[in-house]
Amino acid sequence: AQSVSQHNHHVILSEAASLELGCNYSYGGTVNLFWYVQYPGQHLQLLLKYFSGDPLVKGIKGFEAEFIKSKFSFNLRKPSVQWSDTAEYFCAVNAPNNNDMRFGAGTRLTVKP
């Protein structure tokens, strides 16, 4: 089964700093890739997704992610973070036609005002 690694457990940034959160997966075949965000006390919401096509995908709230197949990576980026981006971020992967979605352990982002 596929697995997902998120390298950073807790990231602390000041407002306006740039963000990059790492995500690597282990699966040899075609994959669907997702980033979800969980704001404090709320449920998970989809930030962005990659199924096929342009490896640079844009999501909501100015987030983007780049799929690099050769590196099995799907890193999340944002040029300038805001205090409201404070949340936990989860990378997830599944194979097409496979309902077993695997999530990473999550990265907690704290943005200082």
Partner 1 sequence: NAGVTQTPKFRVLKTGQSMTLLCAQDMNHEYMYWYRQDPGMGLRLIHYSVGEGTTAKGEVPDGYNVSRLKKQNFLLGLESAAPSQTSVYFCASSWEGFEQYFGPGTRLTVT
Residues near partner 1 (CB under 8 A) are 1, 4, 6, 9, 32, 34, 36, 42-46, 49, 51, 90, 92, 94, 96-106
Query: Rg of the chain over CA atoms, in angstroms?
Result: 13
User: Which CB atom, from 9 or from 70, has the smaller least distance to partner 1?
Assistant: 9
User: Which CB atom, from 70 or from 97, has the smaller least distance to partner 1?
Assistant: 97
Least distance CB 11 / partner 1 (angstroms):
15
SS3 content of the chain, % helix, strand, coil (to 5): 10, 50, 40
Least distance CB 64 / partner 1 (angstroms):
17
- Nearest CA to 74 out of 44, 51, 101, 42 is that of 51
Least distance CB 44 / partner 1 (angstroms):
4
User: What are the angstrom distances between the C-alpha of 40 and each of 18, 102, 109, 113?
Assistant: 21, 22, 11, 16
